[in-house]
Amino acid sequence: MRREPPRKGEIAFIANDRPEAQSAFEKLTDVFGNATEADARYIVAVGGDGTMLEVLRDSMKHPKPVYGINCGTVGFLMNPLGKVEELPERIANADRAVINPLCMKATDRDGNVHEAMAINEISLIRQTRQTARISIMVNGETRMGQLICDGVLLSTPAGSTAYNLSAHGPILPINANLLALTPISAFRPRRWRGALLPYDAEVTFHVQDPDFRSCAATADNVEVRNVTEVHCTIERKKQMQLLFDHGTGLEERILREQFED
């Protein structure tokens, strides 16, 4: 669906500190100016996928469509820089994906509760040489009394091709009303490969023997150490809009990931 191309002063550009991103940022702002996030029609993230995740989290304060320009490595959530002057038309013709974040409430050993949002996944990882021992509840019912592992993660469809895929979890279509629950180097049960859960499932991880077998919880790149319990739910009231060059939307990228080497 074509939209009205943004004019000069209607785009907020946000770049990371890498030289490539700063160079692109200077070129873009020289041509289009740089609006504040509150006043902009669109936000353009310049960097890699990590930059995009940070911008998406911040954009929840000012819900605007976010278009990414890749100046990093993989750039799964990004678009190529291309010709600077063509950016407004590319934004106007872009495919749009609407996603919801995962909300993490992590309780640490001191009883403090830490909240963070994740676009890709929430993960628990052991902090020591000892294996983690984690129980898993889904909608208040214990589904696994003890998972002995390096860790476990809960992924959104948008994040299913990221850490989840590296841990041999399933790739989820972007419109799937599912979450992927995936173990990381499971030792017992040895053959457990995870589960597919309803999108609105409430998942709670309990760390067993947290003093001896300590774990850290991470919502994308926000880490909380020495956790005892982590509660995860999809936040349906919060929506983020990602823009991709026409024909290369998130649904298409997820399909390609399953058929390309």
- Span 181-201, pLDDT tens digits: 999 999 999 889 999 999 999
pLDDT score of 1: 63
pLDDT score of 200: 93
Beta bridge partners of 195: 181
* Radius of gyration for the chain, computed over Cα atoms and rounded to the nearest angstrom: 20
Residue in 17, 30, 39, 49 annotated catalytic? 49
DSSP label at 172?
-
Does 120 show up as a binding residue in the annotation?
yes
pLDDT score of 249: 81
DSSP label at 54?
H
The CATH label, of 3.40.50.300, 1.10.3720.10, 3.40.50.1820, 3.40.50.10330, for the domain at 11-99+239-257 is 3.40.50.10330
Taking the CA atoms of 10, 16, 21 and 27 in sequence, report the sign of the dihedral they define.
positive
Is-same-fold flag (11-99+239-257; 102-234)?
A: no
Does 252 show up as a binding residue in the annotation?
no
Task: Give the global pTM.
Answer: 0.83
Does 176 show up as a binding residue in the annotation?
no
Does 162 show up as a binding residue in the annotation?
yes
Each residue's pLDDT expressed in tens, for the chain with a length of 261 residues: 677 889 999 999 999 999 999 999 999 999 999 999 989 999 999 999 889 888 988 877 778 999 999 997 778 889 999 999 999 999 999 999 888 999 999 999 999 999 999 999 999 999 999 999 999 999 999 999 999 999 999 999 989 988 999 999 999 988 888 999 999 999 999 889 999 999 999 999 999 999 999 999 999 989 999 999 999 999 988 888 899 999 888 788 888 877 765
| Sequence spans of domains, the chain | 11-99+239-257, 102-234
Alpha-carbon span 96 to 92, nearest angstrom: 10
Alpha-carbon span 235 to 216, nearest angstrom: 22
Does 135 show up as a binding residue in the annotation?
no
Closest CA to 157 of 104, 198, 114, 185: 198
Instruction: Give the DSSP H/E element, type plus range, for residue 144.
Output: strand 141-149
pLDDT score of 57: 83
Does 161 show up as a binding residue in the annotation?
yes
Q: Please give the CATH architecture assigned to the domain spanning 102-234.
A: Sandwich (2.60)
Q: Is 141 exposed, middle or buried (0-12, 13-18, 19+ CB in 10 A)?
A: exposed
- Tell me, yes or no, if 17 is annotated catalytic: no
Instruction: Give the DSSP H/E element, type plus range, for residue 146.
Output: strand 141-149
